[in-house]
Amino acid sequence: MTTVDTPFAVLDTDRLDRNAARLRDHLATLGVPLRLHVKTSKSVEVAQRVHGNGPITVSTLAEAEHFADAGYRDVLYAVGIDPHKLPRVAALLRRGVHLTVLLDSLAQAEAVTSFAHKENLRVPALVEIDCDGHRGGVAATDPALPEIGWALGANLAGVLTHAGESYFAYTPGALREAAQNERDVAVAAATTLRGAGLPCEVVSVGSTPTAHAATDLTGVTEVRAGNYVFFDLVMAGIGVCTTDDLALTVAVTVIGHQPGRNQVITDGGWMATSRDRGTQAQAVDQGYGLVADADGRLIPGLVMTGASQEHGVLSTRDGEPVPDLPLGTRLRILPNHACATAAQHDRYHLVSGEVWARHRGW
């Protein structure tokens, strides 16, 4: 990697493998299969290495199309469906891809049903259930839930929930509580639909924190997670992993010094690492990322404290003099949010020297 111009994304496959095995083994003890979320890596090579050709979750239809081209046939598009995108959904279904869409309103359900009837297709749909007020979804107790189910008719496939607030659970007990609540709400929603005489084959839950913290998944048919393959400083900050588990870093080079400000300048700004400041609300603010040497060993006390488009600013956390890092020194930045950092790059440079492609776009 010493001949590759910085900045670039570095992937440690030993850590990748270890992270994948950890969650796979945990879910095996609970008897529930994993549906890998590929939004973090957006890489066929990563998915095949950690999950084979198993069922996947995507965050864009471009991902669905890209992975379908690579032979993936069980795909969940886990963002609320825009009716204007249904022709792309139909194209994938006609290619033999079992593509499931997501919705949380009667209007969406009616649009899906109308489109499916017009195209003579079944468009499998999950109803998103709100388990913690994080984003979208209907409450499991909302009278609209069975109405949405009835509007979907034969297109109804089940329910889905995402415990987004688990990213703000800072103790093992809070993480377990979030996981149990996610499971309980999803199962309650499924019970509501079944009680109304509607089918509910799929009961899908998932987030990286709750997938690791879950102890009881009775009634759940699948778990979704994606960040866990790389992990990041936000996950380390809530105790789901440690910094030694982070598989993704960004290689940068020292391009200058500001002795009067006790700063080192690199060629890796927010275009390389992202502007994500996800640790800002945590007990330890990691700035724009922690700093390691070229081999991935953390440099104690050194933090990426500033970022402009193509410049990174490194400073010490305690105000001690910055370490001696001569011009041309290569470093690696540990990211706050792996999904956001990976999104800045179109390929991964493996520690072994191999290069894996990454998909982009919508």
Task: Look at residue 19 and tell me if it is in a domain.
Answer: no
| Cα–Cα distance for residue pair 220/207, rounded to 1 Å | 14
What pLDDT is recorded for position 2? 75
| Cα–Cα distance for residue pair 287/155, rounded to 1 Å | 46
Q: Buried b / exposed e across 174-199, counting CB within 10 Å, b at 16+?
A: bbbebbbbbbbbbbbbbebbeeeebe
Q: What is the mean pLDDT of residues 264-293?
A: 97
Q: Is the pLDDT of residue 127 over 80?
A: yes
pLDDT class of 272 with cuts at 50, 70, 90 = very high
| Cα–Cα distance for residue pair 84/333, rounded to 1 Å | 40
Q: Is the pLDDT of residue 261 over 80?
A: yes
| Cα–Cα distance for residue pair 334/246, rounded to 1 Å | 7
Q: What mean pLDDT value characterizes the chain?
A: 97
Task: Look at residue 282 and tell me if it is in a domain.
Answer: yes
Give the domain range for residue 278.
243-357
Residue after which a domain boundary falls, among 229, 259, 293: 229
- Whether 61 and 186 share a structural domain: yes
Give 355's strand partners: 349
CA 142 to the chain's CA centroid: 28
CATH number (domain holding residue 192): 3.20.20.10
- Whether 273 and 183 share a structural domain: no
Percent of all residues in the chain with a pLDDT value above 70, rounded to a whole number: 100
Phi-psi region of 271 (alpha: psi -120 to 50; beta: other; left: phi over 0): alpha
pLDDT class of 140 with cuts at 50, 70, 90 = very high
Task: Look at residue 24 and tell me if it is in a domain.
Answer: no
Residue after which a domain boundary falls, among 205, 229, 253: 229
- Whether 116 and 201 share a structural domain: yes
CA-only gyration radius of the chain, Å: 22
Beta carbons of 204 and 57 less than 8 angstroms apart: no
Residue 17 to residues 14, 157, 250, 342, Cα–Cα distance (Å): 5, 32, 19, 18
Q: What is the mean pLDDT of residues 134-159?
A: 96
What pLDDT is recorded for position 235? 98
Q: Give pLDDT tens digits for 194-241.
A: 999 999 999 999 999 999 999 999 999 999 999 999 999 999 999 999
pLDDT class of 3 with cuts at 50, 70, 90 = confident
Q: What is the mean pLDDT of residues 268-283?
A: 96
Q: Is the pLDDT of residue 133 over 90?
A: no
Number of compact structural domains in the chain:
2
Nearest by Cα to 101 from 133, 75, 71, 121: 75
Task: Look at residue 271 and tell me if it is in a domain.
Answer: yes
Q: What is the mean pLDDT of residues 334-349?
A: 98
What pLDDT is recorded for position 134? 86
Task: Look at residue 143 and tell me if it is in a domain.
Answer: yes
CATH number (domain holding residue 332): 2.40.37.20
- Whether 272 and 183 share a structural domain: no
